[in-house]
Amino acid sequence: MANPSESETPQPAKDDDRPAPADDIVTTNHTLTIKRQKLRYTARTGRVVLRKEVVTDGKFDGHVAKAEVFLTSYTVDDADPAERPVTFAFNGGPGSSSVWLHLGLLGPRRVVAGDVGALEPPPYRLTDNQETLLRHSDLVFIDPVSTGYSRPAEGEKPDDYHGFTGDVESVGEIIRLWTSRNGRWLSPKFLAGESYGTLRAAALAEHLQSRYGMYLNGLILISAVLDFATIRFTGDNDLPYSLFLPTYASIAHYHGVHDDRPLDDVLREAEEFAERDYPLALARGARLPAEERRAVVARLATLTGLSPDYIDRVDLRIEHLRFFAELLRDRKLIVGRLDARFTGPDVDYGKEQITADPSMAAMAGPYTAALNHYVRAELEYANDLPYEIINTEAHKAWSYQEFENKHVSVVDKVSAAMRANPHLRLHVGLGYTDGATPYFAAEHTLAHLAIPDELRQNITRAYYPAGHMMYVHEPSRLRQSADLAEFVRSASNR
């Protein structure tokens, strides 16, 4: 049970008498029954204070609190820490809390949200996660600063954490602290990230090695994006148009455009066209002969379900938010960006781009309600701050100053991490209806890792017939849970 003094929200003193921030971790004990076997585990929930070393005029002046980071850890009771793997998990955004992986896929409890055509109504509910990764690995869910209950310390600027380097360094420090305080340096260690969290995980793999000498066993990259050049429709960057095409074809297939044709056949054709003829046509620009242009238009129309006239008018370049608005325009529906299996109404069916994402609208309510209930009622942690599921202001303010005049990419960092640690394994989970981080863009990036050929066998891939959070689709969740369990087992070297 929780220690009441730990679970109470500290009350600040007045003026200069404010107490220094302190960890407020609450400990609770739980049992999960899986196939008549009891899994006993301990949950520790709360905020950990991050501190920085202060040096003035060459003299060490001590440590100053810089942030309070919220995390939830689950450790199985009576297990050997040296043998037991631990997985540090976070989502992306940037500006997203870890709620999605926590209550959607990995944790011991999960939200019941429903799926396309059968969404759960409010007030929603939780259930035991019989497939939790906790069966095979201890879990630590991290909410980066300005997400969840994580905040800068008093007097510190949130902007210090709303950027690539500040984010990697602060999350890396949390991982180091947890590992040291819990005696887990000899445990097999994994990072699990989703979306921008995959970019963070890849950067962390190199950062933890070079800064702390912490070598990992594996990276779990769900809905991966490691190079923004593959997904950003900016300026004269033609690359995303080709890399999104197989996803457009998959979405069109889901919505009946390809009749009874097998999805594998559709994807094979789209991938072949996206690899060779389509990028060549885009590169030729005005040099493309009219007859060849008409052939490209016809091929794109067949694959995507869009009209030849539309494709011609956009100069063969189908931007993703336009596609989501255009595909089912004749039905007065838009399709989701995060998961294009979801459809919904819009305010104006003459709009060029979708106004909102129906897949996010379907998921936000259940996950928000479940987390706010779970953290207080079951984990017994009380905090009157709003739990920031997604902090849009942090997202808008995010800085990539390290990549000025070039695309954001961590291909060099994950390549360096794999070269230095040839035992590092990657598991990449990809959704066919993910319109945010398309699967073929991830394939393109993986093919460009600067690693020896023999290390390419360290990369495994898994494909699911759903979107960005593919685990909202129950068959995908079950298969993904099994895939991750096998990956952790095989990469733990035990």
CA distance 363 to 399: 27
User: Residue written as tokens 């890792």?
Assistant: 449
Element (H, E) at 112: strand 109-112
Own/partner long-range contacts of 177-185 (Cβ < 8 Å, ≥24 apart)? 177/48, 177/50, 178/48, 178/71, 178/73, 178/88, 178/140, 179/86, 179/214, 182/73, 182/75, 182/81, 183/81, 184/81, 184/86, 185/214
Measured CA to CA, the distance from residue 232 to residue 236 in angstroms comes to 11
Cβ-count burial 92-105 (b if 16+ within 10 Å, e if not) = bbbbbbbbbbbbbb
Q: Confirm if 189 and 217 have CB atoms less than 8 A apart.
A: yes
* Cβ-based neighbour number of residue 40 at 10 Å: 12
377 C-beta neighbours (distance < 10 Å), count: 9
Alpha-carbon gap, residue 94 to 260, rounded angstroms:
39
What is residue 16's predicted lDDT score, i.e. its pLDDT?
54
Q: Cα(494)–Cα(490) distance, rounded to whole angstroms?
A: 8
Q: How far apart are CA 366 and CA 351, in angstroms?
A: 29
Query: From CA 447, how far away is CA 456, in angstroms rounded?
Result: 9
Residue 85 and residue 66 in contact, taking contact as beta carbons nearer than 8 Å: no
Nearest to residue 198, comparing CAs of 489, 486, 409, 447? 409
- Residue whose token pair is 């079950």: 478
List the chain domain ranges.
Answer: 4-229+363-491, 231-357
Residues 268-279 have a mean pLDDT of 98
Asked if the model's pLDDT at residue 8 lies above 80, the reply is no
Percent of the chain with pLDDT over 70: 96
pLDDT band of 161, cuts 50, 70, 90: very high
Cis peptide before 123 (omega within 30 of 0): yes
pLDDT at 4: 40
Tell me what pLDDT residue 6 has: 39
Least confident range of 11-25, 54-68, 188-202: 11-25
Q: Average pLDDT over the chain, rounded to whole? A: 94
**Position with higher pLDDT, 311 vs 65:** 311
Most confident by average pLDDT, 10-19, 53-62, 460-469 = 460-469
Across residues 187-193, what is the average pLDDT?
98
Q: Cα 10 vs. chain centroid, distance in angstroms?
A: 32
- The DSSP output letter for 16 is G
**278-287 confidence digits (pLDDT tens):** 999 999 999 9
Domain 4-229+363-491 has CATH 3.40.50.1820: yes
* Measured distance CA(2)–CA(404) in Å, rounded: 48
Give the per-residue pLDDT at 202.
98
What tokens appear for 365 in the block? 């309510």
The torsion angles phi and psi of 325, rounded to 5 degrees, stand at -85, -30
Compare 34 and 54 and report the one with higher pLDDT. 34
- CB–CB of 143/123 below 8 Å? no
pLDDT band at 17 (very low <50, low <70, confident <90, very high): low
* Mean pLDDT, residues 333-361 taken together: 95
Closest-CA residue to 422 (of 222, 221, 217, 224): 217
